[in-house]
Amino acid sequence: MGIFSIFKKNKRLKVPVDLSLLGCDIHSHLVPNIDDGSKGLDDSVDMITKLYEMGYKKIITTPHIMSDAYRNTPETILGGLEPVKAAIKEKGIPVELSAAAEYYLDFDFERKLDNEKLLTFGNNYLLFEVSYMNPPDNLYHAIFKMQTLGYKPVLAHPERYNFWHPDFEKYESFVDKGVLLQLNINSLSGYYSMATKKVAEQMIDKNMISLLGTDCHHTGHINLMKEVVYEPHLQKLMESGKLLNTSL
């Protein structure tokens, strides 16, 4: 059974959600050859073109920074972005393109906080993720340190961390501590799992989501989004008045 068959079981919108009203994507992997996203300049340009055609006017791409896997720095990310910006300008694609990063909360993250100026977007928003296996022991300490240093922590795709699914109050505790939650748009499709979809919808119902991202790694993610725009919970999120994307 294919992924798109999932949509047939659910009530779909008759009119798709207009993503141009969102305007800005704040989570993607479009800098070529530096993480598990874009495989080359042409790949980046193709994805950016398709995102533009879906309504995005601004893209803040966020390559991984992981000490063990993707040892990127602000220099490698911003340097790698420049050819992409030049290519979309040459092709006349009117998208505003910039970069931040998706920081992995690993053993070296707090050292980076203490010693480096980290890549942020908007109002000093700092996008971070944790392991899919288990939450880090220093999670709350790291959140506190981010805030103490003036960063506004944004937890990437919290709905994808299965270990918190049975303990929804954990998500609420993050919001109470001032952590912004960023939802992956394709989580509303069941692409990651139906449990992930359910938790994503629950967070939308409780008005907990502040930022919406594509987490685009390849064109398959964009193709899936063409079906997600018919999801009622996406419309509910867009109409919540909570999303910060429109202010970026």
8 pLDDT above the threshold of 80: no
Q: Is residue 5 part of a domain?
A: no
Domain count, the chain: 1
Structural domain range at position 94: 18-239
95 is written with which tokens? 């998208």
Return the percentage of the chain with pLDDT > 70, whole number: 96
In a domain, 174, yes or no: yes
- Output the furthest CA–CA distance in the chain (Å, rounded): 51
Instruction: Report yes or no on 152 lying in a domain.
Output: yes
Domain presence at residue 3: no
Quick check: is 102 in a domain? yes
In this predicted structure, the answer to whether residue 207 has a pLDDT above a threshold of 50 is yes
CATH number where 115 lies:
3.20.20.140
Give yes or no for a contact between 30 and 216, defined as CB atoms under 8 angstroms apart. yes
Distance of CA 156 to CAs 49, 149, 202, Å?
24, 19, 16
Output the CA torsion 113→75→47→27 (10° steps): 10
For residue 11, name the pLDDT band (cuts at 50, 70, 90). confident
Q: Which residue type does 163 have?
A: F
Asked if residue 9 is part of any domain, the answer here is no
pLDDT value, residue 1: 41
pLDDT at 235: 98
Domain membership of residue 8 (yes or no) is no
Rounded to whole angstroms, the Cα distance separating 122 from 153 reads 12
Report the pLDDT value the prediction gives residue 173, as an integer from 0 to 100: 97
What is the pTM (predicted TM-score) of this model? 0.94
Answer yes or no: is 11 within a domain.
no
Q: 164: how many CB neighbours lie within 10 A of its CB?
A: 17
Residue 40 has pLDDT above 60, yes or no: yes
Alpha helices in 138-241 (DSSP H): 139-148, 169-176, 194-205, 219-228, 232-238
